[in-house]
Amino acid sequence: QAKDMDRNNFQFFSSDLNVKVMERMVLESSLRRALERDEFQLLYQPQVDVITGSVVGFEALLRWHHPDLGTISPEKFIPLAEETGLILSIGEWVLRTACRQAKIWQDAGLRPVRMAVNLSGRQFRMKLDEIVAAILLETGFDPRWLELELTESILMRNASDNIELLQALTAMGCSLSIDDFGTGYSSLAYLKHFPLERLKIDRSFVRDVTTNPDDRAIAKIIIDMAHTLKMEVTAEGVEEREQLELLKRYGCREMQGFFFSRPVPAASAEKLLRKGITF
């Protein structure tokens, strides 16, 4: 009986694996065509200064509208895009689209705000500065308003090579922030060697910040550390007023999350900017 079970389990796992392999192949081949078929869209989530109550930036967040599967989350296709190298062309599209959109808003006379763009590890090569420079030139977007979001793991991998690249990007006028901060393993001593402008507190600490003393302590430490290192800090994933009030009391000035707005299409983002919403 044990043997039967083993065999069944084996079959179960093996067909399960086949399904996964098939799914992946189908997804990969459609991902290859997604750019030319214009299936990507950027949504924009406002970042709010909670002292003034106004929008000070947007984070560009990628969506893939698959013709059969519907909208696919970046958590699902970014890893595949990274493995296949497609992230290089997709990432360029994201940068260009975000810069172009922000430039359109500025040209329309709207109050200038930051545009934050996520980068993945594969994009983090020596050529990234050239790609960014070319896109800035092409779109005419002022790099002072461009913020590039990296993760701790990107930063820590080849840390010494990265410093030069990061310096090249900041020399151009771009600013750099660390996304999902607190979830990685960056050495604090190392942080100060990088030209970083901002830490983004990961939303896993924000979620229970009003009820969990550990998360509250972590959030407070990150805020204090950012300020000690002369960095800005943004809290991600703020969904409730209580979270906002507590983090504000701890000295966190900028926040992003469903409490303010979900990520929205460009037209709705523009309306938010025009309204100059106050929260």
Residues that bind Mg ion in the complex, under the rule CB under 5 A: 118, 149, 179-180, 236
What's the closest the beta carbon of residue 238 comes to Mg ion, in angstroms? 12
Q: Return the bridge partners of 45, or none.
A: 59
Q: Pick from ligand C2E, Mg ion, none: which does 78 bind, CB < 5 to 8 A by kind?
A: ligand C2E
Q: Which amino acid is at 60?
A: A
What's the closest the beta carbon of residue 148 comes to ligand C2E, in angstroms? 10
Q: Are 29 and 84 in contact (CB under 8 A)?
A: no
Task: Name, in order, each residue with C-beta under 8 angstroms of 191's C-beta and a sequence gap of 6 or more.
Answer: 178, 229
Q: Which is nearer to ligand C2E, 95 or 113 (CB)?
A: 95
**Residue 183 DSSP one-character state:** S
Chain residues binding ligand C2E by CB under 6 A are: 45, 61-62, 73-75, 78, 91, 94, 118-120, 179-180, 203, 236-239, 256-258, 263
Q: Which is nearer to ligand C2E, 47 or 54 (CB)?
A: 47
Q: Pick from Mg ion, ligand C2E, none: which does 75 bind, CB < 5 to 8 A by kind?
A: ligand C2E
Q: What distance in Å separates the CA atoms of residue 269 and residue 102, rounded to the nearest whole number? A: 11
Q: Which amino acid is at 198?
A: R
Q: Pick from Mg ion, ligand C2E, none: which does 129 bind, CB < 5 to 8 A by kind?
A: none
What's the closest the beta carbon of residue 62 comes to ligand C2E, in angstroms? 4
What's the closest the beta carbon of residue 67 comes to Mg ion, in angstroms? 26
Residue 206 to residues 38, 55, 201, 255, 278: CA-CA distances in angstroms? 35, 20, 8, 10, 21
CB-neighbour burial class of residue 17 (10 A; exposed 0-12, middle 13-18, buried 19+): exposed
Q: What distance in Å separates the CA atoms of residue 172 and residue 71, rounded to the nearest whole number? A: 35
Q: Pick from ligand C2E, Mg ion, none: which does 237 bind, CB < 5 to 8 A by kind?
A: ligand C2E
Q: Pick from ligand C2E, Mg ion, none: which does 258 bind, CB < 5 to 8 A by kind?
A: ligand C2E
Q: Which is nearer to ligand C2E, 100 or 193 (CB)?
A: 100
Q: Are 148 and 174 in contact (CB under 8 A)?
A: yes
Q: Which is nearer to ligand C2E, 50 or 62 (CB)?
A: 62
